[in-house]
Each structure stands twice: as C-alpha cells, then as structure tokens.
Amino acid sequence: MQKLRVQLQRVVDPILYGRREELMKQRSEKTLEDKEEQYRKPMVFLDQLLNMQRGDQDLEMQEIENHLYTIIGAGSETTANQVAYVLLLLAMHTDVQDRVYEEILSIYGSSTLDVSYETISAQTYLEQVIKESMRLFPVAPLIGRETIEPVKLGNIVVPPGVTLLINILTVHRNKQLWGERADVFDPDRFDPLTYNAHKHHPFSYIPFGGGPRNCIGYRYGMFAMKIMVTQMLHRYRLSTPLSVNDSLHLSFAVTLGNIVVPPGVTLLINILTVHRNKQLWGKRADVFDPDRFDPSTYNAHKHHPFSYIPFGGGPRNCIGYRYGMFAMKIMVTQMLHRYRLSTPLSVNDSLHLSFAVTLKTGVGHTICIKSRADHTQ
C-alpha cells in the first residue's frame, strides 16, 4: 500500500502543486469581479478542490491529495473490471467484435492509433457496446441512498434516516423495463438513432448511479474504457471457449483500498477508531463536547452515514437503540437529580480502556457521589 502511495505521489504531486501555483498566481492578478465570474464557470475536479474552503481556510493539501487518490483508485479498478467484461462479451460475440474493429479501422486506419477527443467521440458503436456491457454487468451492482424524508415503497413507508440498497444488476435485467430480451447482449438497443432515454424510466439504467450523487467520473470512465478497448482490438482478435449460451457465475466482493474482500468474510469494524477519526470529527475528535450534537447546529446528513455508529449501522443495527437511549437517560436523570458527582481525575487524564465483550476501563476509577439533599457522601 505504501509503495503504491509513493508511486501515486510521483504522478499526482507535480500536477497538484503545479496547478496550485497557477491558481494562486491567477488569484493575485484578478479583480474581485473576475473572481466572482470565475466561480460561476464550471471547474474541473482538481480546481474545485483547490478553490474549496472550510470556513475561511483552504482545504489542506493532504486532504486534497487523499481525495485525488480516492478518485484515481476508484476510477482505475472499476474501469479495468468493466473493460474485462467488455472484452469477454466481444470474445463471445465475434460479430459484434468485427463491427467494433471495422469502426476502429474507419476512424484510425490500420496504422498507429492517433487518439483524440474527436476520434473517441466518433466511436459510437463501441460506446453502444460498453453501455450494453454495463447494463448486463455493472461493476458496482449495489448503491446505497439514505432517506431524508418518509418514502413510500408499495405498502411500506420507509422513515427518514434509513439506508436503502439498490440492486442495479436486477434493475438492468428487469423485463418490465428492458423487454423480454433483457438478459440478451444487444448493443443495438443503445443505437442513438432508435434509443430514446426519455422514453425509459429515468432510473432504469444507472451504471454510474443516479441523481445528484451519481458518479462524478462517468465521462472519464467512458473515455478511458473506449481507449483501452480500442487499443486491444486494434492489435488483437479475441476469442473464448465460452459460448453465448453459457451462464457466467457472478459473485459480489467488497473492495477496501487495494484489497478485495471475497464473499463470506467477516469484517470487524473498530467503532472507537471511527468515532475518534479526525477526518470525520475534526481536530477536536478526542475532546468531550456534547455541543457537537446540538440539534440546532448538528446535521447528520452532512456527515458520513457511518461516522457515528454506537448502535451499529445498516439494516442489522441494534434493534434496542431507542430503548437503550431512554434507559440511559432515565438512569442518569435519577442520579443527577439526587447527587452531584466528582472525581479526582482531570479532563487531561487518559482512561485506560480494555476490550472484552464490551468496552470498559482497564482499572477502576473513583467517582464521589454527594447527595444534593444533605450534602453527605
């Protein structure tokens, strides 16, 4: 992992710091009106990060680097996996492969490829092939969305704050949406002369997600895939012992960084570390500050949905969380109504924790309880 990070830094840092210098120079030369006009114009992702502020401060360069590494990592793996499906489908459907190759020859000829935005954009049939491969084999088959208001699904009303998982693979093969041949590989269904996206349900085709939080790299991903497939087919002819009638056995794994976790693996999530993560909770993550949960200022939707999970998260979170919260509030209320608490420990003392079934202090700590009625201990 560290080796990969070093390699990424060699590529990313010159671009990142070079662009920062350019923007700083532009800022110093522009008037206030010019700056306001600049912010109205669309910006590439890197410029957005470099112009973004938290409060009155620019984002730290380390944070920007981390965002870029995430984009590169997410875009590289998913793109490579999708291209693998495209190549497999082309190997299984040689007639489609021949049409893609003919399109390549008509645009580039048989000599060295001179790839440009214009040539890639002209490869419309290859784009149909890629779109159809993403319909049948979306590399991110599940996406999550959290409800922010009550949502009615059939006879079920889903309350706010619930994370819903959308099975894209099932949506893309739904015969009510895609017809009786929904399971058939047919790039012509995306022929721009006949395909009309407005006649389909707006969420019937969502390989890059949907709505305002869809994948920000979908244009980059499409261009990258077209370039890779073009390079392959320009040099090689593909074949496979699989036939179009063979079923592909798919499995869903989870990718954590560069590690792919296969199905059936139990992952342990360290909630203590999550809850004290400074990227999630700020530099004062280790400080006891109940005001951070002040309902007039705290907005759970602005936090990562799993940044605060004392009762777990997702569909298998603790079913007794409401009871637990009420029980704790009653017990603390009973105590503080009768007693004032004190301890020889100061706020700077570290508590030594140990983990058993539950988290507890490794050694006992004294709390003095003084009655509010008669001031006796």
For the annotated binding site for heme, the residues are 215
Q: Residue-wise over 115-144: b if at least 16 C-beta within 10 A, else e?
A: beeebbeebebbbbbbbbbbbbbbbbbebe
* Residue list, annotated binding site: 215
Residues 6+ apart with CB under 8 A from 115: 108, 227, 230
Residues across the chain: 377
d(Cα 162, Cα 315) in Å, to the nearest integer? 8
Q: What are phi and psi of 216, to 5 degrees?
A: -75, -10
- Hey, which residues does 167 pair with through a beta bridge? 142
CB 150 within 8 Å of CB 158: yes
Beta carbons within 10 angstroms of residue 207's beta carbon: 25
Tokens of 272: 């203590």
d(Cα 46, Cα 16) in Å, to the nearest integer? 8
Question: Taking CA 104 as the corner, what is the angle to CA 208 and CA 123, rounded to the nearest 5 degrees?
Answer: 35
